[in-house]
Amino acid sequence: MGGRAAIAGGSIGGLFAAAALTRAGWDVVVHERAGVPLAGRGAGIVTHPELVAALQAVDADTADLGVQVQERIAFDQQGRAHARMPYPQVVTSWDRMYQALRVLIPDDRYRLGQALSGFTQDDSGVTLRFENGTEARADLLIGTDGFRSVVRGQIAPDIQPVYSGYVVWRALAEEGDLDPGIRDRVFDVFGMFMPKGTQIVGYPIAGEGNDLRPGHRRYNFVWYVPTEAADLDDMLTDAEGRRHAVSIPPPLVREAVVKRAAQRAAEWLPDVFEHVLARSERPFFTPIYDHMSPDFAQGRVAIAGDAACVARPHVGMGVTKAGGDALALGRHLAGVGPDGVAAALRAYSAERVPAARAAHDRAQMLGRYIFADPATGHNRDGRNNPNQDEILRLTAVADFG
């Protein structure tokens, strides 16, 4: 059985879906809009047992997946650990996930420079149209083209990402560049700083090339900062005066914006995280949005991963959720021919919408815990968030029971 499957979007979610559908007997082609191979700047990813199981289910290599941490620590303003929770977890990187899945897809089935502009579907298949003027035909289309999905824009045009009211600043520091005293306090744990109105999460990940040797790893720094819409407009405006929609490429962030963040860090952060930021490569920011589609399928077309639902990163579920979507697509389409596509995709949607909703709602709840009562200016006592214990217990945890 099976048939021809087209996947729009060649990042981790698209690769997951391609691997799962290939194993289910489908002839899969991935269409990626970028003209050059993707790279993730080493961004950190938290793993869950469900993610490891999904990787194993598509025969991805899970050896040396990342760095093992054993506990979570909340730091106060003086950089002292004032709350601890045992929680063994492997933390990895975007690059490691991407490479583990990319090798599963033959090069001739992964096509760069094919930005989807739209599609039409009929009783016998789907016609994809690309910005370069070419077309492709398939029995089904899976949109894994991110939170600004072209595919979702056609099947669910009313579902648009909504700005949360805060941004996330990210940075990476080389382990060897950190002062030994600071490194010994933060490097081998999942660390947090969480007064009311802001939050930092930090943890170790592999070095370049998945180097896991002590001294050669990196520290992943994540800082959630409340940002008014007017300030965001300024931050999304580059040095040439162009206002970028939704997000701005990191190299185009103005130096004045980076300098203001550094000044705020010096005022707000405990020494451990201020030091990490000071020793990091140039930080960059991303506005936090979320959205939830009430249906993941329409006829022969489905959406998955961030195209279907974006849960704020507090739950650390983006890649895990994409893996779950991919496995569900594979299960429902296994043994199905072209004539059974629409029914299979309806069953996929019915299974995965509740799972995505659970992650989406948990992430919004954690955002409310952090930002519902932001301090006027800043509350410098790291123990003053009354939700601290729940934030420590629920951040980047996949149990939604």
CATH of the domain at 175: 3.30.9.60
- Count: domains in the chain: 2
| Residue 55 resides in a domain | no
| Residue 190 resides in a domain | yes
| Residue 145 resides in a domain | yes
| Residue 255 resides in a domain | yes
In terms of domains, do 202 and 349 share one? no
In terms of domains, do 148 and 282 share one? no
CA max distance for the chain:
65
Could you give the CA distance from residue 182 to residue 142 in angstroms, rounded to a whole number?
Answer: 46
In terms of domains, do 27 and 137 share one? yes
In terms of domains, do 274 and 203 share one? yes
**What CATH number does the domain containing 151 carry?**
3.50.50.60
pTM of the model: 0.94
In terms of domains, do 123 and 234 share one? no
| Residue 274 resides in a domain | yes
List Cβ neighbours of 96 (8 Å cut-off, separation of 6 or more): 45, 65, 66, 206, 210
The tokens 């405006």 sit on which residue? 237
In terms of domains, do 295 and 263 share one? no
- 97 compared with 376, residue with greater pLDDT: 97
| Burial call 232-259: b when 16+ CB within 10 Å, e when fewer | beebbbeeeeeeeeeebeeeebbeebbe
List Cβ neighbours of 387 (8 Å cut-off, separation of 6 or more): 369, 370
> What phi, psi does 234 have (nearest 5°)?
-65, -40
In terms of domains, do 313 and 388 share one? no
Could you give the CA distance from residue 119 to residue 383 in angstroms, rounded to a whole number?
Answer: 52
In terms of domains, do 326 and 283 share one? no
pLDDT of res. 401: 61
In terms of domains, do 88 and 111 share one? no
Model confidence pLDDT, tens digit, residues 372-396: 654 444 455 555 688 899 999 999 9
In terms of domains, do 130 and 213 share one? no
Model confidence pLDDT, tens digit, residues 236-247: 999 999 999 889
In terms of domains, do 119 and 130 share one? yes
Helices (H), 94-242: 94-102, 150-155, 180-186, 229-235
Contact between 398 and 311 under an 8 Å Cβ cutoff? The reply is no
| Residue 177 resides in a domain | yes
Residue 221 has pLDDT above 60, yes or no: yes
| Residue 62 resides in a domain | no
pLDDT of res. 399: 83
In terms of domains, do 195 and 272 share one? yes
pLDDT band at 287 (very low <50, low <70, confident <90, very high): very high
| Residue 244 resides in a domain | yes
Residue 40 has pLDDT above 80, yes or no: no
Write out the residue range of the structural domain in which residue 126 sits: 4-40+103-161+290-363
